[in-house]
Amino acid sequence: MASASVYKAGSLLARLAPDAVGAGAARLIGAGVGPLSGHKGTIIARNIERARGRPLSASERRRKISQTLEWYARYYIESFKLPSIPVEQIDHEFSYEGVDAIHAHCGEGKNGAILALPHLGTWEWA
């Protein structure tokens, strides 16, 4: 398990690095960690095989494990960046559909609404 100082360092680096650097780092992590993934790589491959309904070839297996680990690396890099993203940027990058219906519903004295909102890590885009 990584220590808090590793997470803090990752967060600092992710906030300082341009997006292209973060994407490149995620690719390198996926390619570098994939071959070393051991039991976790076996679990990843088994889950993909279940989803696809067929065994993976050796080359597919290596590629899919690396792609999955790249996705996780990108997830963490993007999560680390979240605290530094201005609220205005978040608001600008999202579109809202049906907001009037929510306001109307709540304005009728009803007890609220259930909303399905995007989720990333422990951060909510809300």
Model confidence at 116: pLDDT above 50: yes
pLDDT in tens, 5-29: 888 888 899 899 998 998 899 899 8
- Radius of gyration for the chain, computed over Cα atoms and rounded to the nearest angstrom: 20
Number of H helices, E strands in the chain: 6, 2
- Burial degree of 15 (CB within 10 A; 0-12, 13-18, 19+): middle
The residue among 97 and 119 whose pLDDT is bigger is: 97
Q: What is the pTM of this model?
A: 0.68
The predicted pLDDT at position 126 comes to 46
